[in-house]
Amino acid sequence: MHPVEVLANRIVWALLLVTAVLAWQGRWAWLRTALGHPKTLLGFVASAMLLSANWITYIWAVSNGHVVDSSLGYFITPLVNVALGYGLLGERPRRAQWIALGFAAVGVLWLTLSAGKLPWIGLVLGLTFGAYGLLRKIAVLGALEGLTFETMILAPFAVAAMAWWWGSSPTSFPAPDAGTNLWLLGLGPATTVPLLLFAFAARRISLTTLGLMQYLGPTIQFVLGLWLFHEPFTLGRLLGFGLIWIALAIYTTDGWRTMRRPRADLNAAG
């Protein structure tokens, strides 16, 4: 299946699912607000474009033997969040976070020099998802409404792509077997549930804390790339990833201590 076709299925089935939820709840007043304010509309066009760019890059990467490379993108996303929080939201990274950013930058530089090219898959995934998180944090719509609006914006292109490939291959919808059709329909909830949880969290916690929670996914991807798909992992790549893991260890430790400090101060005051 072509990556664009997978992307189209994700968008269409996700839209149908979130639309059904909103119809059941009778929550449509937000749509007039979204369409009536150019700034809101442009913001969600931008977040929709970032989301689709992230999705298509990830789909292409895992379809072409770059699962480990794609995991790099989500390893560096928390550090992208720190940089965006500093540059655009006025959040002030602590000394340990600056050190972590430095290690990550050296790691990316090493991966570039050792491979002779930028680790573009990881950088595109990290930057697009980090920027998407920033836009969702400042968005005026809630998690469910925002995702619905984003998929509405992308839907015309997705429907056109699905119509183009309609039944043209064993993996195109509608497929000749029920199993494949179920897998394609399953892209709706598989896409919607994680994004709703992400958008819900992005509006309620700082980008720094949000980044702290995002290590599980790339770790699973990395392990699958090595042990299930047997992707090559040279010493040079290990050194580059190692620098980034050191950055994440520093970042995580600092975040953990910062989260525990107010509780310790409260206990001492009591």
Identify the pLDDT of residue 207: 59
Write the DSSP symbol of residue 90. -
Task: Please report the beta strands in 58-188, taking only residues with DSSP state E, as ranges in sequence order.
Answer: none
- Selection from 108, 117, 121 nearest residue 69 by Cα: 121
Identify the pLDDT of residue 175: 79
Identify the pLDDT of residue 150: 93
Identify the pLDDT of residue 211: 56
Domain boundaries, the chain: 3-258
Identify the pLDDT of residue 2: 81
For residues 113 and 240, is the Cβ–Cβ distance under 8 A?
no
Task: Kindly tell me the burial class for residue 27, based on how many C-beta atoms sit within 10 Å of its own C-beta (0-12, 13-18, 19 or more).
Answer: middle
Tokens linked to 83: 């940089």
For the four alpha carbons of 34, 36, 40 and 41, in that order, the dihedral sign comes to positive
Q: For each of the chain's 270 residues, which pLDDT tens digit applies?
A: 688 888 999 999 999 988 988 888 888 888 887 888 888 899 999 999 999 999 999 999 998 999 999 988 888 887 788 888 888 878 787 888 889 888 888 988 888 887 778 889 999 999 999 999 889 888 888 878 888 999 999 999 999 998 888 877 777 788 778 888 888 888 888 888 887 777 677 667 765 566 566 677 788 888 899 899 988 888 888 898 899 889 888 887 887 777 666 555 545 444
Give whole-number Cα distances, 130 to 21, 27, 68, 89, 118, in Å: 27, 28, 19, 13, 18
Contacts of 14 (CB under 8 A, 6+ apart): 147, 151, 187, 188, 191, 192, 195
